Amino acid sequence: MSRLVWDLPVRVMHWALALATAGAWLTQNLEGDWFRWHSWCGYAVLVLVLTRIAWGFVGTRHARFTAFVRGPRAALRYLRGLVRGDAPAHAGHNPLGAWMVVVLLALLLVQAVTGLFANDQIMNTGPLFGYVTGARSDALSRLHASLVNWILAAVLLHVLAVFAYLAGKRTDLITPMFTGRKSEAAVPPQEAIRASRTWLALLIAALIAGALAWLVSHAPEATLSLF
Ligand code: HEM
Ligand code: HEM
């Protein structure tokens, strides 16, 4: 028997975020009309990250930040436990993994927001480019270009950690990110969640996507010749 830990929105958001981030990375240097794909992937990242952050406040038990974000001391204690081989099991994120979740979400948020104002000095601009001066856009573009290296490093570390659990601790964290379920032994009954509340996540995502669409469609026209 197994118990539900990750609600459906957490799972869908996770894999969609991984795909959209990979998509934004792969489309970074496309020219002309093709650049649209980069924007679409970036918009998807932005909507997903903002929805996940909102879900961290109103989502189900293990999705909430209060359920898994712990101070550095708890993370260090957990790390020491990992090294000694007696780290306690956690139904949701462990205190160390929690930091990775926060770092990934923060990096992706800044990356997507800077993209909205970025320009490539030739023809591609983010949709909100018209709101800022050329110099400010250039600075945000530089941040957009360099932050991506930190994102790559964080994703690599994240995936390595997940596989280290599989190989070193014989703990499969990946299957539960698809099914939402962990074994009874790993989840005390009072820690299982009952339902996903998917409709609420859909509503939040729709509101955020609507706000972004409004913002983009009402932005001043972006003309690179301005500077
Ligand atoms: C660009 C790629 C990726 C990004 C941005 C990313 C991001 C994240 C985030 C934000 C979470 C927290 C989930 C939540 O609480 O909502 C998470 C958890 C997780 N991710 Fe990823 N992820 C990526 C790729 C992957 C890949 C390729 C795998 C599998 C090999 C993976 C496996 C997992 C697992 C197993 C968890 C749950 C960890 C736990 O049990 O504490 N991720 N990831
Ligand atoms: C997680 C999401 C994103 C990732 C990983 C990403 C990644 C990148 C990368 C690697 C570059 C090339 C930078 C360079 O070396 O010059 C780039 C350029 C660019 N991106 Fe994004 N991006 C994301 C989101 C967005 C969004 C939401 C927009 C706006 C709709 C956007 C607009 C741009 C623009 C205008 C450029 C050209 C500026 C430049 O070349 O510096 N990006 N992006």
The model's pTM? 0.95
Residues with CB under 6 A from ligand 2: 21, 24-25, 28, 38-39, 42-43, 45-46, 108, 111-112, 115-116, 118-120, 124-127, 141, 144-145, 148, 151
Q: Which of 26, 162, 169, 187 to mutate to test the pocket of ligand 1 (most atoms within 8 A of CB)?
A: 162
pLDDT class for 24, splitting at 50, 70, 90? very high
Of residues 226 and 139, the one with the higher pLDDT is: 139
pLDDT tens for 156-211 read: 999 999 999 999 989 999 999 999 999 999 999 999 999 999 999 999 999 999 99
Break the chain into its structural domains and give their ranges: 2-226
What count of Cα atoms within 13 Å lies in the side-chain half-sphere of residue 101? 22
Over residues 5-14, the pLDDT tens digits come to 999 999 999 9
Distance CA 22, CA 47 (A): 15
Q: How far is the CA of 219 from the centre of ligand 2 (A)?
A: 18
Nearest-CA residue for atom 28 of ligand 1? 159
pLDDT tens per residue, range 55-103: 999 999 999 999 999 999 999 999 999 999 999 989 999 999 999 999 9
Tokens 């359920």 belong to 67
β-pair partners for 2: 183
Q: Which CATH class is domain 2-226?
A: mainly alpha
> In angstroms, what is the span from residue 188 Cα to ligand 2's centroid?
43
- Point out the ligand 2 atom lying closest to the alpha carbon of residue 129: 35
Query: Does residue 226 surpass a pLDDT of 70?
Result: no
Is-contact 193 61, C-beta < 8 A?
A: yes
Q: How many CB atoms lie within 10 A of CB 209?
A: 17
How many angstroms separate the CA atoms of 123 and 98, rounded?
Answer: 39
